[in-house]
Chain A
Amino acid sequence: EMAIRELKVCLLGDTGVGKSSIVCRFVQDHFDHNISPTIGASFLTKTVPCGNELHKFLIWDTAGQERFHSLAPMYYRGSAAAVIVYDITKLDSFQTLKKWVKELKEHGPEDIVVAIAGNKNDLGDIREVPMKEAKEFAESIAAIFIETSARNAVNVEELFQKISRQIPPLDPQDVESNESFKLTRQPPPAYKRCC
């Protein structure tokens, strides 16, 4: 039996760029819905094999509206990976993406795997964001880059495979401590701060 590793993945990006479409597409061909409950299209899970491990993605959607931007830290804390989605037909969405990258650098979890997904790649004719520019940006920040089409199911699996591969394998010691972490969990901090 392979060890199941649960990985929290956070989805960031403007409204309408197709964050949840990508995830729905990713999860759609999957048969363990009955095992793992979901909350609408906002919280979904999917398990994929990776090497000798199984990666169970716990995918957290976020609200893309500008006004909810400040709530994002509550969602991305503790994430193993963040998928930042933009719409290749909307330059604005790419600008927002840059903002997210900056914020994650500053406030996000250490060692978070960042993946940049340029969605709606099926609408290449009205493209506003050149692939080269996006790719170069991704390289500059050592992020995964891929253009996807949720509608045509292009590169969706690949996106998550890439993330899987970037996740460093667990130390055997960590596996053990993982087992008992709940018993020792939540030592209440002496100084509680309101969040």
Chain B
Amino acid sequence: MSFIKEQTWLKAAEDLVKTDKAFLQYLKDINISVLRHLIDSDVLDKSQIQMRQLLQMNGRFHALWICTEDKCKHLQKLMNQGRILSSHDVFPVSHMETIKELYMQYFSSFTNVVVIGGFDYISKKTSNYWKENMGSLRNFLKSAETSESSVSISLFRILHECFREQINQYTFILTLLSKDFHQIADNELNESLRGLMDLKIYISQVLDEAALTRDLWKSLGTKLTEILCTPERRLREDSKNIPISLSERFGHSRILLCDDILIHIQGSDIHCYDLTTLWIEVITKDNMDTCRNILKVITPEDQLTFYTQQPHHQAVWHWKISQAIRQCLVKSRDFPLWGKGSNGQSPENPPAHRFATYTFKNEGKFKNAVYEGDWNQGKPHGKGTMKWEDGRNYSGDFESGLEHGFGVLLVRLLDAGYDCYKCHWSHGKKQRYGICEYRNKTVYRGYFKDDLRHGFGILETCRGESNSFRYVGNWMNDKRHGYGVMESTESGELYIGMWQDDQREGRGIVITQSGLCYEGIFQQNKLTGKGILLSEDNSLYEGEFMEDLQLKGKGKITFPDGISIEGTFSNTFGNGMQVQGVMKTTTDSDVADEVANLQLGVHGLPVLERWPCIFDPYVEYLHSGSSDAMEEAYLGFHLESGRSLRNKSSERLASPSDHSCVSCSRKPKESHMKNSDFLKDLRQQQSLEQLQQYLEKSLQSSLHPLGKLLQTQILVFQVTYSGIGANKHLLSMAQNEVKYYAEKTTELIMDYVPQLFHQNYEYGESRIEMNICSLVLNMILPAFYPELSMLYMLYHDKDNALYWRGILHLDLLSEIKLLEFLDVQRHLWPLKDLHLTSNQRYSLVHDQCFISAIECVQKISTTAEPCKKLETLFHTMGEIEKTVSMILKRDYKLPMDDLLPLLIYVVSRARIQHLGAELHFIRDMMDLGLEGGITDFLLTAFESCYQHIQKQEIRQGRFMGFI
């Protein structure tokens, strides 16, 4: 049995070698007599399309030839070595794959030549040669009837018939082989055989297609053919064959389906629709009387409605168009039959969602723009890039044909500069958060509405630019509008106030580098009308202004020494004033103090109108359902730093200005909280204590919405009150603002505090809100502490200087002297041994008494939270009491007669640098409970110490008698 098999295989191998050898000889002859001649011919212009296709065909001809030769030699070698042992050796499947590939390649090239009428062209050009050498052509054609055929047809036949014949030969040999072994399943053999059959079908299909296509081009006339004919394009369906029309009247237009485009010809008008951007659907339309199906074709800029007379016509067109689109999208045609995938299974309809490139033509937003990206039903949808003719370039998200989501838009201008927008988009317009880097080296970071800057935003110059400025504030219709703060190095000024139409308009404050401030009503950038001006030396002018610093009109100037002049002014401040008026002198030092401590912006710039814009997106975000996906669009600003808008897809975004709004010292600790859990978590807090813990965590987290909100609050606060803005006349504004932040944040939180919470709580709702508000205030204060405490220090500079002089003088006193000076009762002196005589006992007092209390009170400056500061004060009291109890060896409740001197002692030895600022900070920022309560008393006690140390007798050292 085995022997018989081997014999059969050997026989098949011999047959294969034989037929291949004959084929190879034939190819060789064709090459010499036909191809070589054509290629080398000097009458043929190699740049012509026909020749280019011929050359390509020639290449593939040779590839096929060489491969066949190799296979043939290999088989012969196996035979000679007696190694033909299975069908695999005879005709392996891998061989089949190679053959298939080479033949497909060759025939696609060959049909390209056919389609463009290549053989007609070549035979015409070389007709002279063939007149003499017709015989050599005829030799290749075996059948007699060909004697009459033209050169063109001869070439056509010579160059493809032998290949088809060769496939037939292979099929024949393998069929015989498989018949011999039909009882034994030989998968490999069967598969090869099936491949050969498929190839045969495929070849005849592409030849038919090519012939049809060539006929089409011939019938269309040169003008249309010139436009439409390409070597690769094949006709798939023709409305002449199966009628279809764009109107209910047939015959007026011609519809051609090619493998890459759908063509609509009407008269001399041609419309071509790229299949990659073509969608088709069947619409069932109920008319008055009839129910008819129509085909709707969607393209990026057109919608076509196709009518057919017969239902099955419609079905064929629908199927053919769908299949053509699908093959066009995968860039490969079906094998062996189109409409069947390579696996033979019925293919799916083309996807509605796809990637494609398209150039827009119609008038409109995208005219002449090239879009490359995702599509859905005729509209850019998904990710994509749009390139406009004028150099604009948008890369990002699209939805239903418009920019929607996140995207980067580059706008090139004539001077070769770029504006770069990294924005969130909605229905084709910049919406919500975005960053724009302008070509004039400024950067806007903030909110947009309908393409325009709107809401909160920052416009600033890039780092390193001279004449830098920074505007932080409200925008409307692309312009500065509403409350805003502008710092400019050019003018060295800080403007805090209202804007309109990009100009200072309304109430505003200007602070100069030197500390000069003025406040008033601005009109078109200038201070005009009534206003006040405060100089660095605490002189005050109240009256009329003309232009910025021109004192013009009625006014009054008050100098720190008590002299005031009231009258009519002219000339610029500082330039030798001219006044006509009355001079008064007063010795009331209160007037000077009032000027020194005057607070700006308290009346004209209500805190409610300053920064609601930073809360608005937040509220919108919460109302929108606070999805993670939309977080950046709403809260883009609330990111930890402005370094990158989107950290996940950093490839999209170069870093904008390197502005970090958080200084290292107050960078919050990272905790991993998911944004979407925010509301859920908040709602679960059952008690004030739990809520406090929750808020502490969330305010610290740069990922939590509340933490992000805080970062923005810090940003605007710093912009206003650091640098030039660190001015004592702004203390009240700053206080208001921090309290406002706490109140607004509380408002946000209150909406999410569960109802249960309210019911369980023993007080009313307003009481809870108050409690939460003071909680929040206490928690956020550390974030504003650097600026705020600076303002407090500046504000209390004068009395602090007096206090410090007092401290320095008290330093000169020894412990004993100081205790004595302060009238501390002797029995409370911390002495080691009470039995010593008074002279001896002085020397035995500890170097420093009440150390624990002193160290305790010093901690007041190490914390930024007012309630912690207050705690240290309470502890200090406790330490004093403890020390006294130790001295007396019994519990002793100190009355004020004893406590105050001891407290002054402790405070004077603690040498706290800015005690006044600290105490005022606590009093202003803490909810002290009811007036007259224990915290009020405690603070009053320390305040009275501060006050006492400032007294003249102490700071002028009028205690010399004690030394």
Contact = CB atoms under 8 A, between A and B. Distances in A.
A75 interface: yes
B239 interface: no
A70 interface: yes
Interface stretch (B12-20, B49-57, B888-896): B888-896
Given A62-B896, A74-B947, A193-B590, A43 B934 contact: yes
Interface stretch (B150-158, B574-582, B594-602): B594-602
A31 interface: no
B586 interface: no
Interface in A143-172: none
B766 A180 contact: yes
A126 interface: no
A162 to B, nearest CB: 20
A64 B897 contact: yes
B136 to A, nearest CB: 111
Contact of A61 (B593, B731, B769, B896): B896
Contact of B900 (A63, A79, A183, A194): A63
A192 B732 contact: yes
B792 to A, nearest CB: 11
Contact of B599 (A15, A20, A190): A190
A8 interface: yes
B900 A191 contact: no
B773 to A, nearest CB: 8
A42 B594 CA distance: 34
Interface stretch (A32-40, A94-102, A129-137): A32-40
B766 A194 contact: no
Interface stretch (B32-40, B166-174, B712-720, B924-932): B924-932
A16 B598 CA distance: 43
Nearest to A6: B930
B603 interface: yes
A40 B599 CA distance: 39
B921 to A, nearest CB: 13
Contacts of B948: 68, 71
Interface stretch (B115-123, B380-388, B935-943): B935-943
B932 A20 contact: no
B603 A190 contact: yes
A41 B895 contact: yes
Nearest to A183: B770
B897 A179 contact: no
A93 B563 CA distance: 44
B610 to A, nearest CB: 15
Given A8-B931, A19-B895, A41-B895, A192 B937 contact: no
Interface stretch (B284-292, B462-470, B690-698, B795-803): B795-803
A173 interface: no
The winner among A61, A62, A79 for most chain B CB atoms within 10 A is A61
A2 B937 CA distance: 26
B913 interface: no
A145 to B, nearest CB: 23
A190 B732 CA distance: 8
Contact of B598 (A61, A191, A195): A191
A7 B930 CA distance: 10
A8 B597 contact: no
B795 A58 contact: no
Contact of B766 (A39, A41, A179): A179
Contacts of B943: 74, 195
A39 B901 contact: no
B944 interface: yes
Interface residues of A, number: 46
A182 B901 CA distance: 33
The winner among B590, B731, B895 for most chain A CB atoms within 10 A is B895
A191 B599 contact: yes
Contacts of B764: 179
B599 A60 contact: no
B899 to A, nearest CB: 5
A38 B899 CA distance: 13
B936 to A, nearest CB: 8
A194 B770 contact: no
Q: Which range contains the number of B residues in contact with the other chain?
A: 35 or more
A24 interface: yes
Contact of A43 (B732, B937, B944): B937
A170 B798 CA distance: 42
A190 B948 CA distance: 26
Contacts of A19: 895-897
The winner among A8, A19, A40, A78 for most chain B CB atoms within 10 A is A40
Contacts, number: 131
Given A6-B932, A186-B924, A74 B896 contact: no
B503 interface: no
Contact of A63 (B593, B731, B795, B896): B896
Contact of B593 (A40, A70, A194): A194
A40 B877 contact: yes
B736 A188 contact: yes
Nearest to B896: A61
Contacts of B597: 191-194
A24 B893 contact: yes
A65 interface: yes
B918 interface: no
Nearest to B947: A71
B198 interface: no
Contacts of B240: none
B951 interface: yes
Interface string A16-57: 100110001000000000001111111101000000000000
Given A182-B927, A183-B766, A195-B947, A40 B893 contact: yes
B933 interface: yes
B940 A41 contact: no
A180 B773 CA distance: 14
A118 to B, nearest CB: 19
A37 B934 contact: yes
A107 interface: no
B937 A42 contact: yes
A42 B770 contact: no
B899 A40 contact: yes
B823 A61 contact: no
Contacts of B941: 39, 42
B881 interface: yes
Contacts of A195: 943, 947
Contacts of B947: 71, 74, 195
Contacts of B937: 39, 42-43, 58, 60
Contact of B932 (A61, A71, A79): A79
A41 B590 contact: no
Contact of A75 (B593, B603, B940): B940
A191 B596 CA distance: 9
Contact of A65 (B732, B894, B897, B927): B897
B368 interface: no
B735 interface: yes
A1 B599 CA distance: 45
A194 B596 CA distance: 10
Contacts of B932: 6-8, 58, 60, 78-79
Given A61-B899, A188-B732, A188-B736, 16 more contacts: A6-B933, A38-B893, A39-B937, A40-B881, A45-B934, A60-B937, A65-B823, A65-B900, A68-B900, A70-B951, A71-B944, A71-B948, A186-B924, A191-B597, A191-B599, A194-B799
Interface of A: 6-8, 11, 15-16, 19-20, 24, 36-43, 45, 58, 60-65, 67-68, 70-71, 74-75, 78-79, 179-180, 182-183, 186, 188-195
6 contacts: A38-B893, A41-B895, A60-B937, A67-B823, A190-B732, A192-B731
Interface of B: 590, 593-594, 597-599, 602-603, 731-732, 735-736, 764, 766, 769-770, 795-796, 798-799, 823, 877, 881, 892-897, 899-901, 924, 927, 930-934, 937-938, 940-941, 943-944, 947-948, 951
10 nearest A-B residue pairs (beta carbon) = A8-B932, A20-B895, A40-B894, A61-B896, A41-B893, A63-B900, A71-B944, A41-B895, A43-B937, A188-B732
